[in-house]
């Protein structure tokens, strides 16, 4: 799919911005896609022919999904579940994460972009990492500049997000 998107954009000299959006929160196109995917999933697919390449890809994905959803003692200990890694990646993508009110407001999933902890607007990535008075106390957990720590000190950053109650995962 990514190859196809890249080819289409290259052919038409187009830049394409693909944002991450949360599921199951009333976004019309997303809800429709989810509905159609669920509809397709319950249909009898035993007679649908697939090529060997697709069968291999489906098998590989199933094994990866199964192993990813089973945290190892090591990953659990360090608080780096798939969900926390997703949040970290979203924050690295200019803060396009549903843990930030500005992002939820921008996509129409929240009526306000105000920080739920201090009430200031907007609660964007800069606010969450630098300006929120509710996180001052915890900033000593981050070894350097918060923005750089998103990349260079992920374990400390996850701990910072967890204790400052921005991470929805225990
Ligand atoms: Zn705040």
pLDDT on residue 79: 52
Q: Report how far ligand 1's centroid is from the alpha carbon of 134 (Å).
A: 6
Parse the chain into domains and list their residue ranges. 77-163
Q: Report how far ligand 1's centroid is from the alpha carbon of 157 (Å).
A: 17
pLDDT one digit per residue (tens) for the chain, 170 residues: 777 777 887 888 777 777 777 777 777 888 888 888 888 777 777 777 888 888 877 777 776 666 655 554 444 445 567 888 888 889 988 889 999 999 999 999 999 999 999 999 999 999 999 999 988 778 888 888 999 998 888 888 888 888 888 886 55
Q: Report how far ligand 1's centroid is from the alpha carbon of 122 (Å).
A: 8
DSSP string covering 38-101: HHHHHS--TT----HHHHHHHHHHHHHHHHHTS--HHHHHTT--HHHHHHHHHHHTTT--TTSH
Q: Report how far ligand 1's centroid is from the alpha carbon of 1 (Å).
A: 39
């Amino acid at each position: 799919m990514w190859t196809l998107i890249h080819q289409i954009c290259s052919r038409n000299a187009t830049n394409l911005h693909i944002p991450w959006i949360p599921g199951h929160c009333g976004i019309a196109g997303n809800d429709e896609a989810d509905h159609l995917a669920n509809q397709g999933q319950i249909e009898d697919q035993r007679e649908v022919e697939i090529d060997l390449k697709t069968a291999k890809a489906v098998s590989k994905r199933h094994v990866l999904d199964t192993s990813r959803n089973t945290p190892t003692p090591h990953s659990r200990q360090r608080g780096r579940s798939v969900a926390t890694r997703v949040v970290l990646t979203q924050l690295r993508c200019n803060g396009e994460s549903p843990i930030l009110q500005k992002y939820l407001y921008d996509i129409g999933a929240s009526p306000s972009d105000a920080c739920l902890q201090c009430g200031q607007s907007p609660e964007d990535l800069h606010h969450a990492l630098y300006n929120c008075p509710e996180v001052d106390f915890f900033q000593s957990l981050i070894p350097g500049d918060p923005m750089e720590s998103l990349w260079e000190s992920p374990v400390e950053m996850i701990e910072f997000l967890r204790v400052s109650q921005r991470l929805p995962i225990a």
